[in-house]
Structure 1
Amino acid sequence: MVWCGSPFLAWEKLVKHASIIVRSIGLMIPALAAIENGSPARAADVPAYFKPIVGTETSSPAEIGTKNVLQLNTTMFELYGDAARIFQKNILAQHPVILGLFSGKGGRFILYRPGQPPLDAPRVPIDYELMKSVGHSTMALGQIVAPYVNSPNDKSWRPSMATYRIRMQAALDGLDATALRDDWKPNSRAILQNNIAFMDECLKSDTVTPEGVAEFAKKQAPLLKKNIAWAAQTQVGHWMNVIAGWKQMLGADWDKTYAASNTIYVARQNNILFSVLAQFFGPEAINDRLMLIETISFTTTPDEMLDSLTRIIGDRWVGAAFFGNYYTMDFELMGGDARQAIIDEDAKMKITPTLPPQVPFGSHQWPALITPGPGAKTLADLP
Structure 2
Amino acid sequence: MSRIYAGARPGHGEDLLARFPVVLALFNGAGGRMLLYRPGLPAEEAPPVPAVYQYLKALAHSTVAMHEIALRADADPAALAGFADAVEQGLTTLPDLALDPQTARAATAVLVAVRAFLSTPRTPGSATTEELEDFGRSCAPHVVVLMEKAAAVQVNHWMSVLDQWHLLLGPSGFDSVHAAVNTLYVTRRKNILFTVLAQYLGERAIGDRLLLFETPEFTTTPEHMLDLMTRVVADRNLGRAFFGHGQVMDVEILGDAAVHAIRTRMLQRARTPVLPALAPYDSHQWPWPTDPSSGTTPTDLYTATALHQPRLPAD
When normalised by structure 1's length, the TM-score is: 0.71
Residue 365 of structure 1, CA deviation? 1.4
Which of 80, 83, 93 is 2:5 aligned to? 80
- Displacement after TM superposition at 1:275 (Å): 0.4
Partner residue, 1:140: 65
Conserved? CA contact 2:75–2:124, under 8 Å: no
- Code of the aligned partner of 2:281: F
Corresponding position of 2:36: 111
- One-letter amino acid matched to 1:88: G
The CA deviation at 1:184 is 2.0
The equivalent residue for 2:17 is: 92
**2:29 matched to 1:128?**
no
2:194: which partner in 1? 274
Match of 2:287 in 1: 367
Q: How does 1:246-257 map to 2 (within 5 A)?
A: 246-251=165-170, 252-257=172-177
- Asked if 1:346 corresponds to 2:271, the answer is no
Which whole-Å CA distance do the structure 1 matches of 2:30 and 2:228 have between them? Answer: 23
Aligned to 2:205: 285
Deviation at 1:217, TM superposition (A): 0.8
1:316 aligns with 2:241: no
Take 2:54 and 2:290, find their aligned partners in 1: how far apart are those partners?
A: 30
Name the CA distance, whole Å, in 2 between partners of 1:120 and 1:88: 19
| 2-structure distance, mates of 1:318, 1:121 | 34
Considering only CA atoms, is the larger Rg found in Structure 1 or Structure 2? 1
What is the SS of the residue equivalent to 2:132? Answer: helix
Alpha-carbon contact 2:22-2:38 (below 8 Å) kept: yes
Q: Deviations over 1:56-98 (max 9, x none)?
A: xxxxxxxxxxxxxxxxxxxx33322221101111111111000
Q: Is the 8 A contact 2:69 2:75 kept in 1?
A: no
CA distance in structure 1 between the partners assigned to 2:98 and 2:289 by the alignment: 37
Where structure 1 has 5 or more consecutive residues not aligned to the other structure, the ranges are: 1-75, 149-153, 372-383
Gaps of 5+ in 2: 292-315
Q: Measure, in 2, the Cα distance between the counterparts of 1:79 and 1:369.
A: 32
Q: Where do 1:294-305 residues align within 5 Å?
A: 294-305=214-225
Q: Distance in 2 between matches of 1:343 and 1:351?
A: 9
Asked if the contact 1:144/1:157 (under 8 Å) is kept, the reply is no
Task: Give how far 1:162 is off.
Answer: 2.9
Evaluate the alpha carbon distance shift between residue 183 and residue 125 of structure 1 in structure 2; reply closer, same or farther with a 3 A threshold.
Answer: farther
- In the alignment, the residues of structure 2 paired with residue 232 and residue 193 of structure 1 have an alpha-carbon distance, to the nearest angstrom, of 23
CA distances 1:120-141 after superposition (whole Å, capped 9, x unpaired): 1122122211110101111111
**Identity across the alignment (%):** 40
1:98–1:109 CA contact under 8 A, matched in 2 = yes
Instruction: Show the counterpart of 1:50.
Output: none
The amino acid of 1:171's aligned partner reads: G
| Other-structure match for 1:102 | 27
* Ranges of 4+ aligned residues in structure 1 off by more than 6 Å: none
Over 3 Å counting, the alpha-carbon distance change for 1:209 and 1:202 in structure 2 is farther
**Structure 1 residue identity aligned to 2:60:** G
Q: Higher mean Cα deviation, 159-168 or 307-316?
A: 159-168
> Deviation string for 1:193-238 (max 9, x for gaps)?
1101001014589942222211111110111011111111111111
The one-character-per-residue Cα deviations of 1:114-172 (angstroms, maximum 9, x if unpaired) are 111111112212221111010111111112223x4xxxxx4646554333212221222
Higher helix share: 1
1:330 aligns with 2:261: no
Query: 1:248 and 1:238 mapped to 2: Cα distance?
Result: 16
Cα 1:208–1:114 change in 2 (3 A) is same
Task: Tell me: CA distance 1:369–1:271, structure 2 relative to 1, closer, same or farther (3 Å).
Answer: farther
Q: Counterpart of 1:224? A: 143
The verdict on how the C-alpha distance between 1:96 and 1:301 changes in structure 2, with shifts beyond 3 A counting, is same
Q: How many residues align?
A: 290
Alpha-carbon deviations, 1:22-46, whole Å to 9, x = none? xxxxxxxxxxxxxxxxxxxxxxxxx
| Bigger mean CA offset, 304-313 vs 357-366 | 357-366
Please give the TM-score of this superposition, normalised by the length of structure 2: 0.86
Letter of the structure 1 residue corresponding to residue 24 of structure 2: L
2:213 match: secondary structure: strand
Code of the aligned partner of 1:326: G
Against the structure 1 CA distance between its residues 114 and 202, is the aligned structure 2 distance closer, same or farther, given a 3 Å change threshold?
farther
Change in CA separation of 1:156 and 1:247 when aligned onto 2, cut-off 3 Å = closer
Contact 2:28 2:219 in 1 (8 A): yes
Give yes or no for contact 1:109–1:120 (8 Å, CA) kept in 2.
Answer: yes
